[in-house]
Every structure is written in C-alpha cells, then in structure tokens.
Amino acid sequence: MGCGHRHKQLSGSEYQSIMASFTITQRDPVTGVTKSREIGGSNPAFIIVDVGSTHCASLELAKRLIDVSKIAGVDCVKFQKRCTQALLTREGRERKYDSPHAMAPTYGEHRDVMEFSFQEFKELQSYAIRQGLFFTASAWDPPSLEFLISLDVPFIKIASADLTNLPLLQLIAQTKKPVVMSTGMASLDDVIRARKLFGQHRTPLAILQCTSSYPTPASHVHLSVIKAYQKEFPDCVIGFSGHSEGYHIALGAVALGAKVLEKHLTMNQEAKGSDHKSALNPSQLGHFVTNTRQMEKAIGLPNKRVQNSEHGCIRKLCKSITSTCVIPSGTVITADMITTKSPGNGIPASSYYNVLGQKAVRDIEDDSTVMMCDIGQ
C-alpha cells in the first residue's frame, strides 16, 4: 500500500498547550467562596457583556441586564468606572453637552448622572456573583482603578481610550491583576508599546481587536487583525470587542479563534444613549451565546481525519474496486477486469493500482464489489 509523511494528530490538551491562556479568580465577598476560569487555550470563548451606559443610570435596570446575561449563559458582566474629577479638566466638565444622548446640560454633569456610587457598585458586584457571573469594570482613571482593586475584581478591563495612557497602564500593571485590553482608536505600534509595558510586569493579558465607532460599519471592523494579533502576540490571549449591529460579525471572530468576546447589551435598542444602537437585545444575546458555542464545536481541532458521522456516507457514496467481468479464482487481475463504483463497502478506489497484478483467490462475479478476501488480503 502507499506510504507518505505521517502527521501527528493533536489531542485537545496538546492543542491547548500551544495556545496562550491565563486564569482569573473571583472571590465572593459575602461567602468567601472562590470561582476560577481559564481564559484562552482550547477553552470556550470567554463572553463578556458590556453594560456600559445601557443601564441608563438605573440600578434596577442594571440588575435586569445582569439577569438577562445569566439567562443567556455569558461568563461575565462588565461596567464602566469613572471619577469625573480625575477624568476631565474643568473645561471638559463644563462643556455644554447638547448631544441627543445627553442626560444633563454639561458633559461633566452627564458623566456624574451616569455614574453609580461606590456602594451601588458593590451591590451590583454582589448581585452578579450570586448569579454565578464574573463581575468587573473598565478603569478610566487612578481613583476608579483603586476602587476596583478594593472590590478585588478578577481582572481589569482597559478601554480603548486608555490604550495609550501609559501612566494609567503602569498603575494597572503594578496591581498584578490580569488585564483585558481593547485596541480601538489605535495603531499596531500603540498596541505593541502597551504589550511591552505589561510584559515587563508579567501581566496576564488578553488583547481585543476593536473599532471605536458606534455602531461600527462592517468595512471598518477588520476581523483579519485577529490573525495578525495571534502572530504578533503569541503569548497573549486574543479576542474581539464588537460594536457592529447584531452578532453575526462577532461569530466571524469566533471562527478566527477569538477567545474573549465582548458585546454591549440593552433592553431597548432605541433608548437614549450612544451604546444602545450597537448593543444586542436579550433575544439576540441568547442567540449569540448559543451560536458561539455551536461555532466553537464546528471549529474543533486542526486535524483532518474521517469523522464517525461520515461512515454512512462512505458506505453509500464512495467508490470501491468493482469487477467488469467474471474473474475466475487464480486469475491475475488486469486493468480491463476492474473499475470503480459505489457503494464504498469494499476495497477503496484509492487502492486501485495496488489491486492490479493481484490474484483472485476465489471466483468474483461480474459487476460486483471486490472485497479484500477476494484477493487473499
């Protein structure tokens, strides 16, 4: 029979070993129970729901969004934490804010309206943990980072706007917390610089391809950057933060190997606020999670081999060596005596040239599938 190069078939654990991963841990501040999750490797994608501003400054609505996230089967809910005084200059705070999304007449007042208090944040954290979800937030400034560390969040999220904020990145790196970093509004050089800073501190890092426009046009998404990041940063977990409408583009990120996925969630896509249009509604979120898990099953392992489910089709459709005439026992088989036909339950067509020159060890009827026992093998 033919020979050739043999390729090693990778098992799940072997495939995982060549892909970056890190572990996050969350402690329930009430019960003291800890929960861990490995992100990356061959593990399912870690799905983050970004509540962002879609809570519309309502604690009860924020809790409803956590409920929806739990029902959908996501892994984590993420909020935004800002300290207006630390985030904005006086001019920035006092700037007239006449956007259709404005909750107050100035941008500073708008930000204050949208911000949960420290006590409300603790309440949301406890609520999410009771639902079995990881809870974290984007740290937009040093006081917010300090607060999130006091909550002992499992990882720090870096918003795209702070990718180039080296003083804040340095503070985050010094916490020794794992980091998930979005890369909207940035060049590859910006990402490399941030990666280098975290590398110096041995910070476990996930890097998310992202485009910071709401909603993002499909032509501005550039999912191919995911593959470029996988090559450029092999020791980092690579993912995708999507702001396009719907979830179909994010499924493309799953197919490309994204191991962290982030999407906004809203109860009303027509509500007041910049995030709602690019957010998923509860039904879409459920479909997104379900389809993500189906896509991951479909991706499988990088081994091309016959699957068990294919055996029925092999027997029905594939070709076998077939006689074109009666072949008496003892006859040396020549090309004019055989062809290939279905079904595929005999000597496979790939062995055609190996059968030529063999002797029949018993009578073979005309137009019949030749079996290995017909030629004594």
Rounded to 5 degrees, φ, ψ at 338 are: -135, 155
Calculate the alpha carbon distances from 34 to 25, 179, 216, 371 in Å.
7, 19, 37, 60
What CA–CA distance (Å, rounded) separates 96 from 192?
36
**Burial class of 283 by CB neighbour count within 10 A (0 to 12, 13 to 18, 19+):** exposed
Average of per-residue pLDDT across 46-55: 86
- Give the mean model confidence (pLDDT) for residues 17-37: 89
The answer to whether 198 and 168 are in contact (CB under 8 A) is no
Percent of the chain at pLDDT exceeding 70: 90
Structure confidence by residue, pLDDT tens digits, 70-121: 999 999 999 989 888 888 889 988 888 887 766 778 876 777 777 888 899 9
pLDDT in tens, 338-359: 999 999 999 999 999 999 999 9
Residues 6+ apart with CB under 8 A from 170: 197
Q: Identify the pLDDT of residue 331.
A: 96
For residue 272, is pLDDT > 60?
A: no
CA distances from 203 to 24, 192, 196, 322 (A): 12, 14, 10, 63
Q: Confidence class of residue 15 from pLDDT cuts 50, 70 and 90?
A: very low
* Domain residue spans of the chain: 13-299, 308-374
> Residue 16: which pLDDT band, with cuts at 50, 70 and 90?
very low
Q: How confident is the model at residue 335 (pLDDT cuts 50, 70, 90)?
A: very high
Residue range 188-230, pLDDT digits in tens = 999 999 999 999 999 999 999 999 998 999 999 999 999 999 9
| Number of Cα atoms under 13 Å in the Cβ half of residue 368 | 11
Average pLDDT, the chain: 90
Instruction: Quote the Cα angle for 117-118-121, to 5°.
Output: 90
Domains 13-299 and 308-374 share a fold: no
- Domain 13-299, what architecture? Alpha-Beta Barrel (3.20)
Cα separation, 180 vs 238, whole angstroms = 9
Q: Give the pLDDT mean for 301-317.
A: 92
Question: Which residues, 6 or more positions from 52, have their beta carbon under 8 angstroms from its beta carbon?
Answer: 79, 80, 264, 275, 279
**Pick among 3.30.390.50, 3.90.1210.10, 3.30.590.10, 3.40.50.300: CATH of 308-374:** 3.90.1210.10
CB contact at 8 A, 261 and 47: yes
Name the least confident of 244-248, 267-271, 338-342: 267-271
- Using one digit for the tens of pLDDT, what is the confidence trace for 355-367? 999 999 999 999 9
